[in-house]
Homo-oligomer: A and B are copies of this chain.
């Protein structure tokens, strides 16, 4: 179960739910492959790993797929997270509609200086000194980190000490996963620099580029 595979499964799931809501009943591996940008063979392989099978002629039954994907990916589990760092990015995330749509809820924010946080939402924002207590009390497993670069490493350390199991990190530092805690880094600046380079390079050497 590597990250890429899981991301594909999540994409299948989203897509299938959409198809279902549009009234589709079945789907072929090449439809799915086209839609998420992989080969039909890989789609079939992924499904076979999940012991999902289709019909030799009629493709896959969407309901069955969705059901099994929910089973594997864990549908209605509690998905509560805390947000550490309520600056511009942080508060934007507090209002991010997509989270609730995916069943994810930011239950509390923490900031070094909660007074200064412009918080138009109902989510409470506490001083970061209460972090450990809150996390323990509410059995929080996952945190979103949106603090400045300087504080990121310390915050991550504290979160791991507090027993958190997963961190989604927006600070522009590459934090490393440990056995106790899995960290996903979203490095916006890096993505954009990468894009600049890919574009420049594609212009110089039209043939040699392999996006994604």
Q: Which residues of A contact B (CB under 8 A)?
A: 1-3, 6-7, 10-11, 36-37, 73-74, 77, 79, 81, 88-89, 91-93, 95-99, 101-102, 104, 141-142, 144, 148-149, 165-168, 172, 174, 176-177, 182-184, 186, 188-203, 208-212
Contact = CB atoms under 8 A, between A and B. Distances in A.
B142 A199 contact: yes
A92 B7 CA distance: 26
Contact of A99 (B93, B167, B192): B192
B166 A198 contact: yes
Given A98-B149, A194-B10, A200-B74, A182 B211 contact: yes
A165 B95 CA distance: 30
Given A96-B188, A141-B199, A168-B192, 4 more contacts: A77-B200, A97-B148, A166-B196, A182-B199
A199 to B, nearest CB: 4
A81 B189 CA distance: 12
A81 B193 CA distance: 11
Contact of A79 (B77, B188, B196, B209): B196
Contacts of A184: 191-192, 194-195, 198
B1 A209 contact: yes
B189 A99 contact: yes
Given A189-B102, A194-B6, A211 B177 contact: yes
B211 A3 contact: yes
B36 A194 contact: no
Contacts of A79: 196
A96 B88 contact: yes
A93 B91 CA distance: 12
Contact of A165 (B81, B142, B148, B203): B203
A198 B174 CA distance: 18
A162 to B, nearest CB: 15
B174 A37 contact: yes
Contacts of A36: 174
